[in-house]
Amino acid sequence: MLPVRVLVVDDSVVVRKLISDALAVSAEVQVAGTASSGAIALAKIPQLNPDVITLDIQMPGLNGIQTLTEIRKLYPKLPVIMFSTLTERGAVITLEALSLGASDYVTKPSNSETLGSAMEQVQRELVTKIVSLGSRRTPAGSPAPVSTTKRKLGSQRIDILAIGVSTGGPNALAEVIPRLPQDFPVPVVVVQHMPPLFTRLLAERLDSRSALSVQEAEAGTSLEPGQVWIARGDYHMAVGRKGTDAILNLNQDPPENFCRPAVDVLFRSTAQTYGANVLGVVMTGMGSDGARGAAHIREAGGEILVQDEASSVVWGMPGAVVSAGAADKICPLPEISQEIVRRVTSNRGRPFAAHASVRT
């Protein structure tokens, strides 16, 4: 397979060299060129025909947001990865970029890091994302048919909605959460792979657009119907029981699937705590986090929806669930909220059977 061609855009010559040198170690990636400004990047795109662009947010002249807006007008399908600072301002602008069509983001190494550690961080985070996003533009044969595992469903009531998502997740959540009605009868728990600070700002952004209350998770919070909790960055989130109440638990146990928070941790705990009364949803994301957790939910009698490939930025996570035979239905993104509401509101008269608490 041909290497993924990348255009690196950053006003700092030091950062351009850091990224270029970090990417050079991978045989799967080729730096097609660099640009020191948004205007130069726009001029180089038709010359270089890159598969992916890495784009600095803060640049003189055309900044990252303005450059992204122009790229989306001219090249709506070209993957763009934003290069962001791990600050509140950087996080706010990054979320704005994602809402405007950026495919993903990575955070810049801090100034305190050594050159070696900075290089390692860029290699670890950026190469995988570039290869995953760039491979979607590489011509391939006809996709293999996918199918869901047929089961007789609809007899159990749903008492919790658990959602797992990663790359492309903020936009997917913005499509689903605000469409849930104000009288939504169950709690919603969400794992979005994001660092600290980003998850709080994501919750605030969704809360401002939704009829439901959306908050970043706090340990010990009781799960109430019609409220949404986003897992805190760098903390696993699980649900458990304290007496008869369902509560949120947070921990910093080792990452799973290289992720913390991890979807598998959340999904396992919902299956242990709620048994068959769980609806799990896996949407766009890189990797396979959520596949094992989805299997736990189905083994307990719960249901699993996944986002389809065509509407996913990356079909890694939902595709892994389908490949494992753990999906009950595959839905395009615009139909997921409607399918959630249909499944959750049916069988509301059936009693909830309490299950053993999960240990976290």
Domains contained in the chain, number: 2
Residues spanned by the domain of 47: 4-135
Domain boundary among 102, 135, 168: 135
State how far the Cα of 340 lies from the Cα of 181, in Å rounded to an integer. Answer: 11
* DSSP strands (E only) in the chain: 4-9, 29-35, 52-56, 80-84, 104-107, 160-165, 188-192, 213-216, 227-230, 236-242, 245-251, 278-282, 303-307, 329-331
Does one domain contain both 119 and 36? yes
Q: What pLDDT band is residue 152 in, cutting at 50, 70 and 90?
A: low
Q: Average the pLDDT over each of 91-95, 289-293, 344-348 and give the range with the smallest value.
A: 344-348
168 phi-psi bin (left φ>0, alpha ψ -120 to 50, beta other): left
Does one domain contain both 256 and 168? yes
CB 153 within 8 A of CB 118: no
State how far the Cα of 158 lies from the Cα of 270, in Å rounded to an integer. Answer: 11
CB 231 within 8 A of CB 203: no
pLDDT surpassing 70 at residue 111:
no
Query: Considering 193, 210, 308, 328, which one is annotated as catalytic?
Result: 193
Does one domain contain both 85 and 194? no
State how far the Cα of 360 lies from the Cα of 358, in Å rounded to an integer. Answer: 6
Query: Considering 103, 166, 269, 311, which one is annotated as catalytic?
Result: 166
Average of per-residue pLDDT across 12-21: 92
Q: What pLDDT band is residue 354 in, cutting at 50, 70 and 90?
A: very low
In a domain, 355, yes or no: no
pLDDT surpassing 60 at residue 145:
no
In a domain, 338, yes or no: yes
pLDDT surpassing 90 at residue 147:
no
Domain boundary among 70, 102, 135: 135
Q: What pLDDT band is residue 207 in, cutting at 50, 70 and 90?
A: very high
Query: Considering 11, 159, 289, 328, which one is annotated as catalytic?
Result: 289
Q: What pLDDT band is residue 352 in, cutting at 50, 70 and 90?
A: very low
Does one domain contain both 180 and 269? yes
Query: How does pLDDT run across 53-88, given as a tens digit for each residue?
Result: 999 998 999 999 999 999 999 999 999 999 988 788
Task: Give residue 125's pLDDT.
Answer: 86
Does one domain contain both 184 and 332? yes
Q: What pLDDT band is residue 349 in, cutting at 50, 70 and 90?
A: low
Does one domain contain both 176 and 303? yes
Task: Give residue 137's pLDDT.
Answer: 52
In a domain, 324, yes or no: yes
Average of per-residue pLDDT across 164-178: 97
CB 175 within 8 A of CB 334: yes
Residue 323 designated active-site = no
Query: Which burial class, exposed, middle or buried, applies to 348 when counting CB atoms under 10 A from its CB (0-12, 13-18, 19+)?
Result: exposed
In a domain, 175, yes or no: yes
Q: What pLDDT band is residue 288 in, cutting at 50, 70 and 90?
A: very high
In a domain, 214, yes or no: yes
Query: Which burial class, exposed, middle or buried, applies to 155 when counting CB atoms under 10 A from its CB (0-12, 13-18, 19+)?
Result: exposed
In a domain, 260, yes or no: yes
Say what the pTM is: 0.89
Choose among 77, 72, 6: nearest CA to 35. 6
Task: Give residue 27's pLDDT.
Answer: 93
Q: What pLDDT band is residue 287 in, cutting at 50, 70 and 90?
A: very high
In a domain, 249, yes or no: yes
- Give whole-number Cα distances, 298 to 146, 237, 277, 290, 292, in Å: 18, 20, 10, 12, 10
Does one domain contain both 46 and 190? no
Long-range contacts of residues 213-222, Cβ cutoff 8 Å, at least 24 apart:
214/177, 217/189, 217/248, 217/250, 218/248, 218/250, 219/248, 219/249, 219/250, 220/247, 220/248, 220/249, 221/247, 221/248, 222/246, 222/247
Which amino acid is it at 329? K
Task: Give residue 350's pLDDT.
Answer: 52
Does one domain contain both 192 and 283? yes
Q: What pLDDT band is residue 214 in, cutting at 50, 70 and 90?
A: very high
Does one domain contain both 127 and 170? no
State how far the Cα of 105 lies from the Cα of 97, in Å rounded to an integer. Answer: 9
In a domain, 357, yes or no: no
CATH of the domain at 124: 3.40.50.2300
Does one domain contain both 95 and 171? no
Does one domain contain both 168 and 301? yes
Residue 193 designated active-site = yes
Task: Give residue 151's pLDDT.
Answer: 58
Task: Give residue 122's pLDDT.
Answer: 83
pLDDT surpassing 70 at residue 138:
no
Q: Average the pLDDT over each of 111-120, 172-181, 261-270, 275-284 and give the range with the smallest value.
A: 111-120
Does one domain contain both 72 and 172? no
CATH of the domain at 188: 3.40.50.180
Task: Give residue 136's pLDDT.
Answer: 60
Task: Give residue 103's pLDDT.
Answer: 96
Average of per-residue pLDDT across 229-253: 97
The backbone torsions φ and ψ at residue 304, rounded to the nearest 5 degrees and listed phi first, read -130, 125
